[in-house]
Amino acid sequence: MARKQKQKAPLSWKLLSAGFAVPAGIAVRKLTDAAWYGVRGTMPPKNPAAPGVGWSEALAWAAVSGLAVAAGRLVAARGAAASYERLTGKLPPGINQGTS
């Protein structure tokens, strides 16, 4: 049985992805820290697994940061894909139009 050849992503797609991912990551970190401070009045835990951090605080930070990171990845991926499509006239490798 022949194996499918995986299509290599062009360098322009990789650069666009990184160009969107880095600022999105920085923005997500700053926004989550600011939101946590605004709601809780303290800075978020640097290490939620540390013994001095309570379970409720650790779980809350995991939920908040996990949701924020997922949303940031989505924004970065969609922005990079839209820019790639605008520049090349076609979707980037591995991105399908619409749903399944």
User: pLDDT tens digits, residue range 26-43?
Assistant: 999 999 999 999 999 999
Q: What is the value of pTM for the model shown?
A: 0.72
3-state helix, strand, coil in the chain (%, to 5): 65, 0, 35
**Which among 1, 88, 84, 70 has a CA at the least distance from the CA of 32?**
70
User: Which conformational region is residue 41 in: left (phi greater than 0), alpha (psi within -120 to 50 degrees), or beta?
Assistant: left
CA distance 30 to 41: 15
pLDDT digits (tens, 9 = 90+) for 55-90: 999 999 999 999 999 999 999 888 888 888 888 888
Residue 30's identity, in one-letter code, is: K
